[in-house]
Structures are given as structure tokens and as C-alpha cells.
Structure 1
Amino acid sequence: MTEPRAAATPGHGSEAGRAVQIRLPDDGPDPVGAPYWILNWGLGVDSTAILVRLFQLLEVLDRKGMTGRERDEALAARLGLPGFRLDRLVVMVALLGSEWPLTGELAQREIVPRLARWRIRLVQVARSGPAKADGVTTLDDSTTPTHLHLEGDYTLFMESVRSGTIPQLGGVRKCSLKHKGEPLDAKVAEIVGGSPFYQIMGFEAGESSRCDRDARADTAQRTGVYPLRAWGWTREVCERFIRRRIGVHWPKSACLFCVFALASEAGRERVLRMLAAAPELAWEPLLMERIAVTLNPTQTLMADGSLHDLMQERGLHRALEMFEARVEAMDWSLVEVRRPMNAQDGDSFRRGGTARDLTVHRTGPRAAMLAALGELAAVGHRDAHRSVPADPRYPRVWLHPRAATFPTLDHLFAVVPAYVATKQAPAFPKLWAAVTAATGYRPPALPGVGRDEQTDLLAGTASANAVPATS
């Protein structure tokens, strides 16, 4: 490649419309050596609007008979992306497996065929497993895509129910970083190699702070670009543009159990409407919440209550009945949870380090697991058990509920649908020893719950880690 030259790019940098210097190839390089243009398509309104705008321009230029270099130069000028080349564009999408069906149907019907028509490369990726070292699954990589692999591979839902947790609200969206950001970054690095690339981000005109944060990730190789900000397109403008061009209202992209969607009144109303219209879709969010709350009462999908209770209040009885019938018929597991919590910097009113050990002791019919739990409750720990109000939806026995000050700990047994898997945090052994020493807690001797042996009560762990199919 010849020495790069500088060019002004509207909308890149900390101020919308400010001209900054980015590296562009000289007019003469071979296209193979030209920079890549990576478009992060999140299936939502903003990034979809960029694609629909590109399709619109391609149709206009096609009617004018423009192809090749002439077409690329016209696209670059009209998109405000100097040096843009269609044959170096890669549309990237990470699939988590729990997208609302309507969004997936629209993307499959309206976007995938247009990508294939213009031979735009679409790369679909997903996580391969729970650890980063498990790698990335390439679901498809094609310039003539025909199918959007919405099912993903190792899904966020499966990760959550296996660990008995929910995605966390507040701070960094770790669920998106892990299931979207990490696989996308890994695949982008594989595609571009050592070549420079521009990453087209779908941040709308009202999201300058997100653009600024993203721009701080720029390197000598990677440059983020933000066309919607440069065009002055807000979310509302994007929605109107898509509706005018392809005749549909494009919904927000979100998982079925998105805690961020459930954080606002408008988001809750939207979710409730969709669950009322398709009650079978309540399975994943209700199952995830049922398991998580049983293991930790604070883990509801909404900060101020459970989705189950909200659906009950709003009369979504059909969805709740379908969920209860399905969950009643499956196997359940008897599990033990130990969760030590330290004080932060010696402050007994602030929680510091926390770790968890989740052990699956037995799996079988729900009635048998509840009977085993009842035996544990009868072994002289009724005071602790009664200290927490009982709810038949969340069968658990507290041997030691957490105190109001730190250090403290949770120690409980519970019965949950048989999705969870035994898992211990690396920091658990050391933290458990420290917190039990500080609090003076000595785990009681229970039948069949010894750490080194098992009796009839908790026999049958061979199948404890089996995860049932989601269908």
C-alpha cells in the first residue's frame, strides 16, 4: 500500500461535524490492500437505518448505471465516508439466541435479501462457550446470505440458567460485552489481520457521549466512525426513514429477558404487550427469574419486583399457566448455595468481595426434590428457615441468611428446575474460610451433605449437570 493521505471525516471525533484527520489509502492501491469497513449491525433501529440508507443509495446509483470505482466514490461522498469501498464492507452481527421474534423476522425478510442482492458480506458470530478461551462460532460468512442464525450457539439464556443468575442492571452492560463485543472483536481481528479498518457504529445523533467513549478505543489500526451523528439522525429520524423506505416500524433490539428494557415504564408496557400477544415467549424470562430468585431473592428481573408478579398484576394469566405447566413437568435439582460476603475496606455497612459456590446434589422429579428439601428443613434449623417468609414458588431452606452488616454469608438449600450446573468461583475457598472465621459460623452436619461423602438423601449426582433441551 502506498503512503496514506489525510482526509476530513464529518462526525468523527468529539464534536459532530468536526473535521479530523484519518488515514486513507492513496487513489491507486489495489482494493485487496484497502482498509476494511466494519459495520456493527445490532439488529436494532440505528444500525439498520445505516444499512437501509446504503441500500437506497445503491438503488439510485444502479439506475444511473454506476458500478465499480465510480459507484464507490459516489457512495463515499453521499455517506460522508471518504475512501469507502463496497467490496471492503463487512456487516458483522453477534447473535445471542433470545431476540424477540418480530425483530428477527424483519431482519430476515427486509435486510438479508438486500445484502445478498448487493453482494455485501455478512458475517454472523456467536460465543462458543462460557469462557473466552472457548472461542467464537462463525455461524455464516457469505456475500450471498440467505438465513439469519438467530438461534446463536452458546446463548446468554443458557449461560444465565446454568449459573442461576440474571443479567445485571447498572454499570457496564457485561451481557452485551461478553456475548456481542468479545465475539465481534475476535472475528474482526481474524478478518482484518494487520490491515487498517474503520468501524461504523450505529450511535444516533443524541448519543455523542457514546461516540466519544468509543473513539477512545481508536488505535493506529482501528478508527471508529459515526455516520448517524454526522447526518444529524436521531432515533426518531431513523425510525421514520426505515418506515418510509421499507414500510415497517422497526422495533428496538433486545433479548426476551432484557433487564434494561424492563427498567422503564415504557419498556415494561412494550414487553407486556408482546407477552400478551405471544404467551409462549414468557418461558425464558420467567424460567431465568424463577431459578435466580430461588437461589438469591434479590435477583429479580426488575429492580422493584419480579416480572412474574407484574404479569400476575396485569392479568397475563395464560402465559403464567403455560409456564407453570411446562416447568412442573420437567426434572428439578436439589442444590446448595454458599455465598460469603466481605466488608469493603473495613466498613461493615458496605459489601466488599463476594464469591459463590453452587453445588447440585441431586436431580429428579419435583416432588422427590421437595421431599428431600423438607428433610433438610427438619434437621434442627427451623429458626433460620422461618426467618425468611416462605413462597412456594421459591422452595428453599436457609441455614444462614445474610445479616445486615458485613462480613456475612448466605448458606441455603433450594429446589430449582434442572438447568443449573455445579460451579465454584475461584475466590470462593479463601473468602469462605475468612468469612466463616470472622462470623463464627460453623456449617451444621446434615444427612448426606458432607463435603467428602454422600448418603441416600443426596445420592444420584451423576445426572446433576445434565442440562435439558430448551424446546
Structure 2
Amino acid sequence: MKIVLSYGLGADSTAILLRWLIEPATRTFDLADLIVVSAQTGDEWSETGHLVEQYVYPLLAKHGIRTVQVARKSKSQRDGIVILDDTRTPTRCYVTGAYKLSDELIDVATVPQTGGKRLCSLKSKGWPLDTFIAELTKGEDFVHVVGYESDELSRMLGDAQVVGLPGRIPTYPLIEWGWDRATCEQYIHDQLGVWWPKSACVQCPYALATAAGRARTIPRFLAHPDEAMRTLTMEYLAVAINPRQGLIGGRQLLDELEATEGSGPLLDQFEQHLDSLPWAIYDVRRAFRAHPDDMMRPANAARSLTRVHEGTRGDMIGGVRFMATLLHPLGARLETGRHHRLWLHERNLYYPCVEQLVAAAPALASDKTNKTFSSAWRAGLEGPAQLSLSF
């Protein structure tokens, strides 16, 4: 029977692999039956990939363990997946993937969210893994090794109850061993002499959601400015289009960095990076539907995003200011500072309603209008007229 380990590159699954290789008595199968599979989102920290190449892959190659790396081919599942590597002598960890999750987020001018299901993970990791494993096992029984820690019983129960791939038999070695994250990290350190960092996408909001997470992650941004540039650009664009966005529960990573000692050089580099990008003036319109039980709560929103002009940063900011001189007498409100926005319609206290703004931002997002936008916009325009909610 095939033993499939979902290798997320982090401490949990790394500890499982190491213990199985170093302490053969802890496993009940032959290594010839083990297949180690990783799904690359394209946005893993580069240092994690280097550690895997330096410490883990040589061990897998020594034992001839089949090691597979997969990724989404595009944002559409219709295009399938890419097999980045399938070998028994792995050397390179393809953390850049094939189609970056961050490319998709930037294209629609948004940031990942912590609320609800982890859709980013399901889309960029879960689906490629399931697609590959389904083709690998072809409906036959297989053992699926999952690296949940001893204090993640709720996740284990949720995973075990999911009707997933045919023939899947889930197993959770860390829970069986009683190992939590600290135990995993200590074991790796004892065996390899390094403290293994947390595996995550560079822009992962869960890594920034707690004070402890920020204490781990902010120094990584300071140490890896190139990865910080991409994340800050994504957030800057998303916030320009929607001020309610932000990587820290609606708050901004940029604010956190500004409050961090020693971040000056990184922030200066980011300003220079923004200056170097092509910019655009965007027309942003949102239509909010009313919640069926409460007209003071929005149900959902439909958005239209359109570039109306492109040029340099200075020219686009100047363009927004010029539009403000023309439209201010009609009630438009100019917002300046980190972002330049001209509010033409501001959302009301009651729903349905609409909002419209013109914003200057990097020209990285594509024009896109939701299919239901036109009808939602008309309904919003006909909604109750109340005091607007300004920012």
C-alpha cells in the first residue's frame, strides 16, 4: 500500500520525516512505499526552500524516497496542475511554483483573509495535492500522512470526517506520538542543529494575526527585503482600492513595519520600489446588497474595477487631484496621504447602496467586473438615501 506524506516544508512534517529515517522502529512500512508530496504555492519563504535543499532532500535522496512537487498551472482548475519534480534524488525545492498565489491576488487587488475557510490553502495546496494523489492512487487504498500536532485534535477530527479521495486512510503520527510544535522544533534542532522556521506564504495573514506571529514574521521581512517588496506592494494596491483591506485583520503590515525599530532602510526601499512601478488611475465601484434580515448589514458586494489612465506615480496622483478640482463642487471628497482617493459616492448607513472612488495605485490589477454588478449597482442606486459612512 502506498504511504503518501503531504510535506508542507514546515517543522511538523519535517520532524515526521526525520524520525522515520533516523528511528526506523517508529514506522511500520518500507521506505520504498513512501511518497513525499509537496504543493508549491509560489510564495513560500526562500529560506525555507534553502533549508529543505540543505538538510531534508539529501536524506530523501540517500534513501531513494520518491519526492514529488506539484503546483497549479494557472488560476483556473480547468488547466490542471504542473509536476515540478518527480524524482528519488531530489536536490531543488521549487518554492517559486508555476503560478504564484500572489500573482492571482495582485491581479484582483486584494489580500488573503483570515476569516472563514482557508481558501488560499485549499486552492493552492489542497487541490493540487488531491489532484496528484487521485491520479497516483487511482482509487486504491492508501495511507495519507498528515502533520497535525498533538494540540490540533479539532483539525484532526475535521480532516478525518471529510469525505475526500477514494481509498484515503488518514493517519496523524504527531498526535500518536504526543508531539506538539515545540517538540518538533527541538527534535529537528537535536538532529540537524538548526531551528526550523514556520512554513507559510510570505503574505500569509495567519502568520501576522497574533503578537507572537508578528514577532516571528516581522524580522523575516527585514532580513528578506525582496520578499517584503512583493508583499507590501500587494497590500498597498489592495488598500488603495479598498481602505478596509490590510494583512493584519484589516490593519496594515506597512503600519506595523513603520512602528518597528530598524525598518527605515526597508521602508525607503519600498518607496523607491513604488516610484519605479507603472501606475494607473482606477475607477472602483462597489454595489452592496442588503442582508435579508437586517438592512443595516450588507449581504455581499459586487465590484467593478477599471483602469482609466496610466503613467508615472506623480502623474497619476496629480490626475486624481485634478479630477478633485473638477468634481469637488459636486460633493466629491479628496483623500490624501499614503493613498490618493477621490470619493464620488460613499456607502450609506442602510443597504442596498453603492460606493465609487477614483484611486491612484500601481498598474498591476486587471480590469474586472463581476457578472452581477450591473443589477446590483442599479439596486444600490435605488436604495434608501441616508448619511454616508466616511472613513
Q: 2-side partners of 1:391 and 1:263: how far apart?
A: 28
1:341 aligned residue: 288
1:311 aligned residue: 257
Q: Report Cα offsets for 1:187-231 as digits up to 9, x if no partner.
A: 111111122211100001111111110001256511111111111
Q: Report Cα offsets for 1:371-428 as digits up to 9, x if no partner.
A: 3323332332456543x7x233212111112123321222111111121111122332
2:19 aligned residue: 53
1:88 aligned residue: 33
From 297, 301, 317, give the equivalent of 1:370. Answer: 317
Q: 1-side partners of 2:193 and 2:163: how far apart?
A: 36
Letter in 1 for 2:26: R
2:389 aligned residue: none
Q: Which moved more, 1:256-265 or 1:358-367?
A: 358-367
TM-score (norm 2): 0.93
Map 1:257-268 → 2, pairs under 5 A = 257-268=203-214
The alpha-carbon deviation at position 93 of structure 1 amounts to: 0.7
Q: 1-side partners of 2:346 and 2:168: how far apart?
A: 49
Q: 2-side partners of 1:242 and 1:86: how far apart?
A: 20
Q: 2-side partners of 1:439 and 1:399: how far apart?
A: 17
- The yes-or-no answer on 1:170 pairing with 2:118 is no
The alpha-carbon deviation at position 291 of structure 1 amounts to: 0.4
For the residue of structure 2 that corresponds to 1:380, the secondary structure is: helix
- The yes-or-no answer on 1:415 pairing with 2:381 is no
The alpha-carbon deviation at position 56 of structure 1 amounts to: 0.6
Q: Aligned residues, how many?
A: 384
Q: Is the 8 Å Cα contact of residues 351 and 383 (structure 2) preserved in structure 1?
A: no
Structure 2 gaps, min length 5: 387-391
1:402 aligned residue: 347
From 202, 207, 219, give the equivalent of 1:273. Answer: 219
2:169 aligned residue: 223
Q: 1-side partners of 2:329 and 2:168: how far apart?
A: 60
1:29 aligned residue: none
From 210, 216, 224, give the equivalent of 2:155. Answer: 210
Q: Is the 8 Å Cα contact of residues 384 and 401 (structure 1) preserved in structure 2?
A: no
Q: 2-side partners of 1:164 and 1:238: how far apart?
A: 37
Map 1:224-263 → 2, pairs under 5 A = 224-263=170-209
Letter in 2 for 1:144: T
Letter in 2 for 1:318: P
From 91, 94, 98, give the equivalent of 1:153. Answer: 98
Change (3 A) 1:118 1:262: same
Letter in 2 for 1:338: R
For the residue of structure 2 that corresponds to 1:356, the secondary structure is: strand
Map 1:29-44 → 2, pairs under 5 A = 35-44=1-10
Q: 1-side partners of 2:356 and 2:320: how far apart?
A: 14
Q: 2-side partners of 1:147 and 1:384: how far apart?
A: 58
Change (3 A) 1:85 1:332: same
Q: 2-side partners of 1:189 and 1:363: how far apart?
A: 45
The alpha-carbon deviation at position 233 of structure 1 amounts to: 1.0
Letter in 1 for 2:306: T
From 220, 235, 257, give the equivalent of 1:289. Answer: 235
- The yes-or-no answer on 1:300 pairing with 2:266 is no
From 296, 302, 308, give the equivalent of 1:361. Answer: 308
Q: Which moved more, 1:429-438 or 1:250-259?
A: 429-438
Q: Report Cα offsets for 1:305-340 as digits up to 9, x if no partner.
A: 211112112231111100110110121112111111
For the residue of structure 2 that corresponds to 1:300, the secondary structure is: coil
Letter in 2 for 1:197: F
From 26, 32, 36, give the equivalent of 1:78. Answer: 26
Q: 2-side partners of 1:243 and 1:426: how far apart?
A: 52
The alpha-carbon deviation at position 429 of structure 1 amounts to: 2.5
For the residue of structure 2 that corresponds to 1:378, the secondary structure is: helix
Q: Is the 8 Å Cα contact of residues 352 and 379 (structure 2) preserved in structure 1?
A: no
Q: 2-side partners of 1:218 and 1:119: how far apart?
A: 32
Letter in 2 for 1:245: Q
Q: 1-side partners of 2:200 and 2:304: how far apart?
A: 30
Letter in 1 for 2:208: L
Q: Is the 8 Å Cα contact of residues 373 and 415 (structure 1) preserved in structure 2?
A: yes
Map 1:107-186 → 2, pairs under 5 A = 107-186=52-131
Structure 1 gaps, min length 5: 1-34, 58-74, 442-471
Q: 2-side partners of 1:367 and 1:138: how far apart?
A: 43
CA RMSD of aligned residues (A): 1.9
Identical amino acids, percent of aligned pairs: 38
Q: 2-side partners of 1:436 and 1:131: how far apart?
A: 33
For the residue of structure 2 that corresponds to 1:413, the secondary structure is: strand
Change (3 A) 1:303 1:391: farther
The alpha-carbon deviation at position 248 of structure 1 amounts to: 0.8
Q: 2-side partners of 1:192 and 1:221: how far apart?
A: 8
Q: Is the 8 Å Cα contact of residues 41 and 95 (structure 2) preserved in structure 1?
A: yes
Letter in 2 for 1:347: D
Q: 2-side partners of 1:238 and 1:128: how far apart?
A: 33
Q: Which has the larger radius of gyration?
A: 1
Q: 1-side partners of 2:12 and 2:125: how far apart?
A: 16
For the residue of structure 2 that corresponds to 1:260, the secondary structure is: helix
